Structure 1
Amino acid sequence: MKNVGTAPPLTHEAFRQRQKTAEVDGLSYKPLRVAWTDLGQGKPVILLHGIPTWSFLYNEVIPTLAHSFRVIAPDFLGHGYSDRRDFFDRSLLAQTAMIIRLMDHLGIERADFVGHDTGGGVSLIMAIHHPERVRRLVLTNVVAYDSWPIDDMIALGNPNWRSKTPKEVADFLASGLPDGLFNRDRLTQEFEAGIVAPYSDEEGKISIIRNASALNTNHTTMLVERHGEIRAPTLCLWGVHDPWQTIQDGERLAREIPNACLVRVENASHWIPHDTPDRFAEEVRNFLTNDLNPLQREPSL
């Protein structure tokens, strides 16, 4: 990868200020606000985060990739600073519909997709149900099969959590972040504060509870028999120390998806875009700019 330099990461406040927003219709009975980052020029690459994060997870990856691509990093409905009101669906299917609406709003017919966690579930749905919109696919420590939701998210989805204060919910979210990082020096105060910031008021508290309650493993198990239909060249980019979405799922996806390869990233865990941002950006850029069939590429170990 060409050394393009590394800009200091933005604070979460600055990251939010850089976001664009629009009211998008067709997703509920009235328009919903969608927030996203749009940086760089060239071939569009859409970065999809998971739960309980938001697009801030890609804070250090976005400017690096933006040297080569037009990087679109949206917040899912109910996550980050997209709409957090309490009257719409937040399931993987609903998030997929939002991504299609956002692409139409931005005039993007086709894009490369990078999906992490539940964003990977959405990416799988896109590649199977809307293959004409997906050029290449990067699946990185994604939800798949029946390995999710994890216990913390099941607990959080209990409506009884409404009685807790926003601080109690934010502290609970923060307490789970270390388990998804191999490099503990990456557990900075700013990363922790940034991830939980959208959920640290009453509206955000209710929204993250609703997000957790919307997690439905049927939305990935229904895809398993169709993984072989994916025609987009696919990279399974996996932090091997993930305690939740294990390397075995990455290996299985790489076997089941035609035209796929697996890159195992040592010394990285679940929050791989933050855990090892330089390696993550390098692998994504190399894959998206490589003209060879992915199966012809020597896998990184």
Structure 2
Amino acid sequence: MKIQDFRNRQQMHSLEGLIDTPLQIAATDVGDGDAVVLLHGIPTWSFLFHEVIDPLAEHFRVIAPDMAGYGYSDRRDRFDRSIEFQADVIESFLDEMGVDRAHFVAHDIGGGVALILADRRPELVRSMVLSNSVAYDSWPVDEMLALGHPRNAQLSSEEMTDKLVESFQFGLSRKERLTDEFKEGIVAPYQESDGIVSLVRNAASLNTNHTTPLTHRLHEMQQSTLLLWGEDDRWQPIDTAQRLVKDLPNAELHPMRNCSHWTPQDNPDEFVSETLRFLQATPVAV
């Protein structure tokens, strides 16, 4: 899907009570049935899922927000960008959308947000598909630590685009999947000056202390969980998934061969088929 078509069906939602002014969240909401919430990571936005949203929406109501500070959601210097705050935002957003129970399909730091919510609000999280997710002390990676330096807020759109495209080249195993459509879509919000500043702020907020306190409670998370993991990922290697499958009581691991970090882009067909197989077999969470 082209960037403009994707943008045309995003809607803005105004959330009260999170900061001292309404917080604006952009989101796609398509399909009917049980809710499936797609959570992207850094440095992407919900366009990461542009090839998987419609196939999933044939079976579920698919809700794909841009997290605060990402994509076309609020970019102002008015709020925290940590994954703890992102969990607050997703809770408030789902309440606004009338969703009190959902499956979570989450990538990278989106997986950290899903784990926080599974611990904090187990009744909200029916199941989880965690794809190359942060956990334990597996993050932040060197590239994001470097990106978070305040001087990078002064980068030109060309310089930021070069940084992002380099990360896509590193994070895809199938080089033919580095399509112009994907590159143009992902970089679009980060070519604007406020988008560049916001992405740098997002990178500066990354803090492993927001997942390490969950480690001793993972065994209490009863949600059915699929670890849908690109085997070639050098940022969030598959050892993290192998550790999670032991610590989460109802988890299974599906390695994705010839896939690296950006799994929904590296192999969208396998991403969709495995997610549907898992979600359609998921029992009601306790």
TM-score, scaled to structure 1: 0.92
Counterpart residue number, 1:189:
180
Counterpart residue number, 1:114:
105
Structure 1 residue 291 displacement after superposition? 4.9
Deviations 1:168-206 (A, max 9, x none): 122211211111101110001111111111010110010
Tell me the amino acid that sits aligned with residue 84 of structure 2: L
Work out the CA distance in 2 between the residues paired with 1:20 and 1:269: 31
Unmatched segments (≥5 aa) in structure 2: none
Deviations 1:38-75 (A, max 9, x none): 01000000000000000000000000000100000000
Structure 1 residue 82 displacement after superposition? 0.5
Counterpart residue number, 2:121:
130
Structure 1 residue 22 displacement after superposition? 1.3
Taking a change above 3 Å as real, the CA distance of residues 21 and 236 of structure 1, as seen in their structure-2 partners, is same
Mapping for residues 122-271 of structure 1, pairs under 5 Å: 122-271=113-262
Aligned 8 A contact 1:23 1:32 in 2: yes
Matched, 1:65 2:83: no
Deviates more, 1:235-244 or 1:284-293: 284-293
Tell me the amino acid that sits aligned with residue 87 of structure 1: R
Matched, 1:20 2:4: no
Matched, 1:48 2:31: no
Tell me the amino acid that sits aligned with residue 107 of structure 1: G
Structure 1 residue 102 displacement after superposition? 0.9
Deviations 1:186-241 (A, max 9, x none): 00111111111101011001000000001111111111111111011111111111
Aligned 8 A contact 1:259 1:293 in 2: no
Deviations 1:145-188 (A, max 9, x none): 11211111111100111232232122211211111101110001
Work out the CA distance in 1 between the residues paired with 2:247 and 2:147: 32
Tell me the amino acid that sits aligned with residue 34 of structure 2: K
Q: Secondary structure at the match of 1:108?
A: coil
Structure 1 residue 292 displacement after superposition? 6.4
Matched, 1:32 2:23: yes
Tell me the amino acid that sits aligned with residue 171 of structure 2: G
Work out the CA distance in 2 between the residues paired with 1:230 and 1:181: 31
Taking a change above 3 Å as real, the CA distance of residues 210 and 292 of structure 1, as seen in their structure-2 partners, is closer
Aligned 8 A contact 1:169 1:200 in 2: yes
Runs (4 or more) in structure 1 with deviation over 6 Å come to none
Structure 1 residue 23 displacement after superposition? 1.1
Work out the CA distance in 2 between the residues paired with 1:136 and 1:292: 9
Work out the CA distance in 2 between the residues paired with 1:291 and 1:201: 41
Work out the CA distance in 2 between the residues paired with 1:23 and 1:191: 28
Match of 2:278 among 287, 294, 297: 287
Aligned length: 285
Over the residues paired in the alignment, what is the CA RMSD in angstroms?
1.3
Q: Secondary structure at the match of 1:22?
A: strand
Work out the CA distance in 1 between the residues paired with 2:232 and 2:139: 17
> Kindly, what percent of the aligned residue pairs are identical?
51
Work out the CA distance in 2 between the residues paired with 1:13 and 1:174: 19
Aligned 8 A contact 2:52 2:264 in 1: yes
Counterpart residue number, 1:3:
none
Structure 1 residue 293 displacement after superposition? 9.8
Unmatched segments (≥5 aa) in structure 1: 1-9, 295-301
TM-score, scaled to structure 2: 0.97
Counterpart residue number, 1:6:
none
Aligned 8 A contact 2:154 2:197 in 1: no
Counterpart residue number, 2:65:
74
Structure 1 residue 107 displacement after superposition? 0.6
Tell me the amino acid that sits aligned with residue 161 of structure 1: N
